[in-house]
Amino acid sequence: MQAQYIIGRNSILEAFEDAINFEKIYISKQAHGDSIKKIIQKAKEKDVYIQYVPEIKLDYLANKQPHQGAVAAIQLVAYYNFQDIIDFCYHEGRTPLFIILDGITDVRNFGAIARTALGLDADLIIIPKKESVSITADAVKTSAGALLKIPVSKVDNLQTAIKDLKNNGIKIIGLDGTTEQFFHEANLKMPLALVLGAEDTGISAPVLKLLDEKLKLPMNTALESYNVSVANALALYEILRQRS
């Protein structure tokens, strides 16, 4: 799948008029002018996330085509409402298993997580709208197409989403290497949402406070941490093992 971008200020403004669904809009940190202001205004009206980036990022996305300081990524697939997935799981007699990505920005990790999630029967991946990965062509490619098959929900606020999940009877667990309890020692048979944090910073403090349980994976002390996609695979396998 080729990356799908709209390049240049006028092209982006025209795409708004054509009701194109945007994933996000990249704007140069040095860009200014009336057309940039119009793009920003329309993005706010349509609730499209804007990311301000260096010129070199735009050069890469536009493949050296003239971009005038603005490139828009087209939304490749429709995002799901997580409440609809919860209702579907309970209606079908499934025990929900969701994955929440907190601070994951690497599309390769996102793709690998999605591929494993699909293979090990996760029902949904939840990502925040801001400062997060999204379903790009690179992510789809890395996932070997899994991101076109597993539902993904994009939420305005992770903390609010987690509280809603709890209200639906879903237990929130997170991977934390500093805790005492191992993952395989926990009861993982109930409805669950597994929170994965960024490799360098882990789960953010506000989200960490909302966890019902913190668990760690077995690991040789010579190793500092697992890659987040590997940690996801190990955790999902243990959940599936207990539920089988």
Q: In what order do the strands lie in the sheet with 124-128?
A: 152-155, 124-128, 97-102, 192-197, 171-175, 213-215
Q: Give the residue range(s) of CATH 3.40.1280.10 domains in the chain.
A: 82-243
Strand partners, 171: 192
Q: What token pair was written down for 31?
A: 């860009």
In tens digits, the chain (244 residues) has pLDDT values of 445 889 999 999 999 988 788 988 999 999 999 999 999 999 999 989 899 999 999 998 888 889 999 999 888 888 999 999 999 999 999 999 999 999 999 999 999 999 999 999 999 999 998 888 888 888 888 999 999 999 999 999 999 999 999 999 999 999 988 899 999 999 999 999 999 998 788 899 999 999 999 999 999 888 888 999 999 999 999 999 999 9
Q: Is 127 helix (H, G, I), strand (E, B) or coil?
A: strand
Q: Give the residue range(s) of CATH 3.30.1330.30 domains in the chain.
A: 5-74
Using a 10 angstrom Cβ sphere, with 0-12 exposed, 13-18 middle and 19 or more buried, the burial of residue 160 is exposed
Q: Is 170 helix (H, G, I), strand (E, B) or coil?
A: coil
CB 2 within 8 A of CB 137: yes
Q: Domain 82-243 is in which class?
A: alpha beta
Q: What letter does residue 147 receive in the DSSP assignment?
A: G
| Cα–Cα dist 226/237, whole Å | 15
Query: What CATH architecture is 5-74?
Result: 2-Layer Sandwich (3.30)
Instruction: Evaluate if pTM is beyond 0.95.
Output: no
